Amino acid sequence: MSSVQTLIIIAIIILIILIVGFIIIQNRKHLHEIEAIDNSVDKIAKMHLERDIKRLDKMDLAGESLTTLNTWRKCYQDAATAKIPEVQHLLELAADENASYHLFKARKNIKKAQEIINSTLDDMKNTHDVFNDLLESNRENQLQYDALIKTYRSMRKNILADSFNYGSALNQLENELSSMESDFDEAKNLSSQGDHVEAKRVLTKIKVALNELKEQLPKIKEAEHQLETVFQDQLSELSDAYKKMISEKFYINKVNVLDEIKKIHEEIDSARNLLAGLKIDELDKENKKIASQIDDLYNVLATEYKARPFVEENQSKMFTLISHQQIASKKLVEKLRHIDESYELTHGELDESKHLEQEVNDMNRQYTVDTQNIADGKGVYSEIQNSWLAMLDRLRQIDAKQKQMSQDVDGLYDSENVANDSIKHFKQEVSLVYRRLQRRKLPGNPDSFVQMYTLVVNEIGHVSEQLSEVRINMEKISNELIQISDDVERLKREADDIINSANLVELTMQYSNKYSDRDAIQKAQDKAMKLYQRNYDYKNALDTIATALEKAEPGAYQRLENSYYSEKNNK
Q: What DSSP character marks residue 277?
A: T
Per-residue pLDDT at 554: 92
What is the CA angle 484-489-491, rounded to 5? Answer: 90
How far, CA to CA in Å, does 480 sit from each of 17, 346, 418, 492, 519? Answer: 129, 15, 13, 18, 53
Residue 398 exposure: Cα atoms within 13 Å on the Cβ side:
27
Q: At what angle do helices 349-375 and 381-440 cross, to 10 degrees?
A: 160
Per-residue pLDDT at 136: 60
Give the predicted TM-score (pTM) of the model: 0.50
Burial of 346 (0-12, 13-18, 19+ CB in 10 A): exposed
What is the C-alpha separation between 561 and 539, in angstroms, rounded? 13
Span between the terminal Cα atoms of the chain, in Å: 145
What is the C-alpha separation between 449 and 428, in angstroms, rounded? 17
Reduce the DSSP state of residue 350 to 3 states and report it: helix
How far, CA to CA in Å, does 182 sit from each of 203, 204, 522? Answer: 11, 14, 148
What is the CA angle 93-99-102, rounded to 5? Answer: 70
Non-local CB neighbours of 423 within 8 Å, separated by 6+ positions: 460, 463, 464, 467, 481
What is the C-alpha separation between 197 and 200, in angstroms, rounded? 5
- Output the tens digit of pLDDT for each of the chain's 571 residues: 567 667 666 667 766 665 655 556 666 666 676 666 767 666 666 676 666 666 655 554 555 656 665 676 677 666 667 676 776 677 667 666 666 665 566 667 677 766 776 776 676 677 666 666 655 665 666 666 677 777 777 777 776 766 566 666 667 767 776 777 777 666 667 666 666 667 778 777 777 877 777 777 777 777 777 888 888 898 899 899 889 988 888 888 888 888 998 998 888 888 888 777 777 788 788 888 989 998 999 998 999 899 999 998 999 999 999 999 998 889 888 877 877 666 666 677 778 888 988 999 999 999 999 999 988 888 899 999 999 999 999 999 999 998 888 887 776 677 777 878 888 988 899 889 889 888 988 898 898 888 998 898 898 888 888 777 667 777 787 888 889 889 899 999 999 999 999 999 999 999 899 888 889 889 999 999 999 988 888 999 999 999 998 898 999 889 998 988 888 877 6
